[in-house]
C-alpha cells in the first residue's frame, strides 16, 4: 500500500513539474487582467487579447522544441 501511494505521489509531482510554468503564467495573466479591468473595462479586453496572443506564442514555442 505504501509503495502504491508513493508511486501516486511521484506521478503527481512529475505532472506538476511539467506544467508549473503554465499554471503560474495563467495566474499572472488573471491577476493582471483583473487589475486592468478595475481601472478601465475596454483596456481590460485589450489586455486579455494581448495575453492570449502571448500565451499562444509561448505554447507554440514550447511544443515546437
Q: What is the pLDDT along the chain (65 residues), one digit of tens a residue?
A: 788 889 999 999 998 888 888 888 889 999 999 999 999 999 999 999 999 998 888 888 878 87
Distance in angstroms (rounded) separating the CA atoms of residues 56 and 25: 12
pTM strictly above 0.85: no
Cβ(25)–Cβ(58) below 8 Å? yes
Helix ranges (H only) for 1-65 are: 2-39, 41-64
Distance in angstroms (rounded) separating the CA atoms of residues 36 and 2: 48
Cβ(36)–Cβ(17) below 8 Å? no
Amino acid at each position: 500500500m505504501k509503495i502504491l501511494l508513493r508511486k501516486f505521489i511521484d506521478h503527481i509531482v512529475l505532472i506538476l513539474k511539467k506544467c508549473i510554468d503554465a499554471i503560474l503564467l495563467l495566474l499572472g495573466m488573471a491577476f493582471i487582467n483583473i487589475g486592468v479591468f478595475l481601472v478601465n473595462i475596454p483596456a481590460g479586453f485589450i489586455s486579455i487579447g494581448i495575453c492570449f496572443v502571448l500565451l499562444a506564442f509561448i505554447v507554440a514555442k514550447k511544443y515546437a522544441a
